[in-house]
Every structure is written in C-alpha cells, then in structure tokens.
Chains A and B, each alone.
Chain A
C-alpha cells in the first residue's frame, strides 16, 4: 500500500470526526438520567393516576381544550369521581407551579416543544417579551 501510514491516520481522523456527536454526548455528565421533576407539595394525587397522566396527559389536555372551548363545559369529572375546573393555568399549574420546574423538564428531555405556552400564561414565568 502506498502511503499506508497517511491513509490509516486519515481514516482514523475521519472516523473520530464522524463519530464526534456520539462520543461527545456519551461523555456528558448525567447523560441518560431521567429528568428531575419538582413534584407538587400541595397534593399527593393528580386528577388521574400517575401512569395515566405520564402517558396520556396530552390526550387529556386536548379533550379539555375541546370541552372547554368548543362545548363550553367547564368542569371535568375524573374516573375517581372528583370534579376539577378545566384549565391549564388555573388547575394544572395551581399544583405543579412553574412550568419550568415540571412541564419543561420532561419536554426538553424528550425534545418536545408543545405550543401551549405560546398563548397560555404561566404566572410564575415572566411572559412579556418572551414566549
């Protein structure tokens, strides 16, 4: 092989550069740790079970949106029979507090960017001038 050393060195450098995103990410501290959520202190039970909320909160919020805006229904009765006033800011955040401590942590972790907060206001996060 002509210039074998150079070719192999070149291949090694090429391989290192191409795989950079992978090993750089690998070397990050806390990589793969699940997000640390600030759990509400005022309540020990969400409106539905934890497993349900974890997997389907977005479905529930969509249903809330349609019930509230389109059908004018203001109250949600959960499967446990409890009644809740429908509202992202008024109901969800009254327990969960700032969205940055709860919603955003998971959404950032999974690279999700729901548009809820483009309009809905989180009183804990300064709104004017930001989105």
Chain B
C-alpha cells in the first residue's frame, strides 16, 4: 500500500514538474511580439459597409469589372460547373437576390436586372454561430465576417446557415482551375470554405476593396464603401439621399450591404 502510494506521488509529482517545465520552455523560447501599435485594428470602432447603386450598375451592360478584379486577385478559381463553383462576388437577377421584395408587376428595368451580390457581413451572422471551430468569426473592431482557412475543417455548416449563398466550398483542389496565380494572396486548398472578406488585407493598408476600385476605374462607379458608424462617410451620405433595401431583411441577420433602388 505504502509502495503504491509512494509510486503514485512520484508519478504525480513528475507530471506536475513536466507540465511546468514544458510551459517554462515555451515561455523561454523568446519569441518576439507583433507590433500592436502598427495594427490597423486601432481603438477606433468601425462598421464597414457597402452600398450598391442598382440604377448606376445597369448603365453599363454586361460589365463584370468588380467580379474580375476580385476573383483574379484573390485566386478564386473559375470551375465552370454550378455544382462546384467558387464565388466571392457574382451577379444574380433581382428576383433571386430579393425574393421577398418582389412581385410580378415590378418596374421594367429592375425586373430581371442582374445585380452584384456578395457576403453581406451581417450584424448577426448565422454562419458564425454554427461554425464549430471559429474558423469564421465577426471582427468586433470593424464588423467584417472573417474567414480563417487554417482552422476550417470543411464541415460546411456555414454554407447551410448562410441565407445568401455567399459561401463556397472547395470540392477539389482549386489550383487545378487557376490559369494564373497572384502570389500576394494565398489560394485555398481542397476541403475548405471561402468567401468575400471585404478585402480586409487592403483595408489594412488603407485601400478600398478591389470591387469598389474596379467599378470606379472600369465600371459605372456604382459601388460605395465606408464606415457605417461615421455619419460623415460616403456610404451614410448616399444612404441618406436615396431609398435603400437589404437582402432578406426579415431573417434578421442585418446585412451590411445596401442596395439603392
């Protein structure tokens, strides 16, 4: 009895020492630190949002500048099959984008007009609630619904949860469907989910999202982007001037992409 007690104490003591030792060796690795002062996530709370001017968007027939700019730079593959397609921003007929805000006698230009749709970076994102690994989460400092492919296990709960179809799953190696790769942005791998992140990598450098920039440069300039918290921002200004709608507002997800109709 004594022997086994002594043995137990030895093992227990050894375990405690070993754990402390491991913690100490981790701490003593002497890693440097990320520079928090240089971080974009400053104390200023923002809420990034986008406004899409539907009237202006239809001025340029067949324009896809926003989609091209986004997909080329983010290494989004064009697979060709609707079953496996991957998309961050794409066009959808009005009736599909706003199924609860339509009727058979809709004004002519709006009826069947193709509108750009993308992740809505919802106030209350259902994809975030269902993600079991927190691979997708809402950034408190600026409202972006982020995506961390390192952590994604490919369960696709978020695809089911998102009422806007804004998420795509990589059923096969996306690199097989890329003709060119932008080395400044990673591709994804088979088995992870991806979506629009409002170009968080560009916002960090103080640049506008690619779609907005491309729409201004090549398209009709129908996209506005800015801080919805700031009453002086461009997005707030255009929202004040024109009537706007959001996709499927009745679901209560609170989309942060607004459409001027």
Is B80 on the interface with A (CB-CB < 8 A)? no
Question: What is the interface size of chain A, counting residues whose CB is below 8 A from a CB of the partner?
Answer: 36
Please tell me which stretch of A8-16, A38-46, A120-128 contacts chain B, meaning at least 4 of its Cβ atoms lie within 8 angstroms of it: A120-128
Is B33 on the interface with A (CB-CB < 8 A)? yes
User: Does B183 lie within 8 Å of A119, measured CB to CB?
Assistant: no
Is A31 on the interface with B (CB-CB < 8 A)? no
Specify which chain A residues have a CB less than 8 angstroms from the CB of B231 in the assembled complex. Answer: none
Interchain nearest-CB distance for B29 vs A (Å): 6
User: Does A67 lie within 8 Å of B178, measured CB to CB?
Assistant: no
Interface residues of B in 38-66 (CB under 8 A from A): 38-41
Interchain nearest-CB distance for B110 vs A (Å): 38
Is A56 on the interface with B (CB-CB < 8 A)? yes
Distance between Cα atoms of A128 and B41 in the complex (Å): 34
Specify which chain A residues have a CB less than 8 angstroms from the CB of B149 in the assembled complex. Answer: 119
User: Does B34 lie within 8 Å of A119, measured CB to CB?
Assistant: no
Interface centre among A47, A63, A121 (most CB of B within 10 A): A121
Distance between Cα atoms of A47 and B30 in the complex (Å): 13
User: Does A83 lie within 8 Å of B183, measured CB to CB?
Assistant: no
Specify which chain A residues have a CB less than 8 angstroms from the CB of B230 in the assembled complex. Answer: none
User: Does A90 lie within 8 Å of B184, measured CB to CB?
Assistant: yes
User: Does A89 lie within 8 Å of B39, measured CB to CB?
Assistant: no
Distance between Cα atoms of A54 and B112 in the complex (Å): 60
Main secondary structure of the interface of B (DSSP, over half): loop
Residue of B38, B141, B175 touching A127 (CB-CB under 8 A): B175
Which size class do B's interface residues fall under?
35 or more
User: Does B38 lie within 8 Å of A74, measured CB to CB?
Assistant: yes
Distance between Cα atoms of A127 and B34 in the complex (Å): 30
User: Does A86 lie within 8 Å of B34, measured CB to CB?
Assistant: yes
Interface string of A103-131 (1 = CB under 8 A from B): 00000000000010011111100011111
Distance between Cα atoms of A102 and B64 in the complex (Å): 41
Specify which chain A residues have a CB less than 8 angstroms from the CB of B107 in the assembled complex. Answer: none
A78-B150 in contact given A72-B39, A127-B187 (Cβ < 8 Å) = no
Nearest chain B residue, comparing its CB with the CB of A62: B150
Nearest chain A residue, comparing its CB with the CB of B182: A121
User: Does B184 lie within 8 Å of A48, measured CB to CB?
Assistant: no
Specify which chain A residues have a CB less than 8 angstroms from the CB of B183 in the assembled complex. Answer: 89, 121-123
Distance between Cα atoms of A107 and B145 in the complex (Å): 35
Residue of A59, A73, A130 touching B31 (CB-CB under 8 A): A59
**Could you list which residues of chain A lie within 8 angstroms of chain B, going by C-beta atoms?**
47-48, 52, 56, 59-60, 63, 65, 67, 69-79, 83, 86, 89-90, 115, 118-123, 127-131
24 example contacts (A-B, Cβ-Cβ < 8 A) are as follows A56-B29, A56-B31, A67-B34, A71-B34, A71-B39, A71-B41, A72-B39, A72-B139, A73-B36, A74-B40, A76-B33, A76-B34, A77-B33, A77-B34, A79-B31, A83-B38, A89-B183, A90-B184, A119-B186, A121-B181, A121-B183, A121-B184, A128-B180, A129-B176
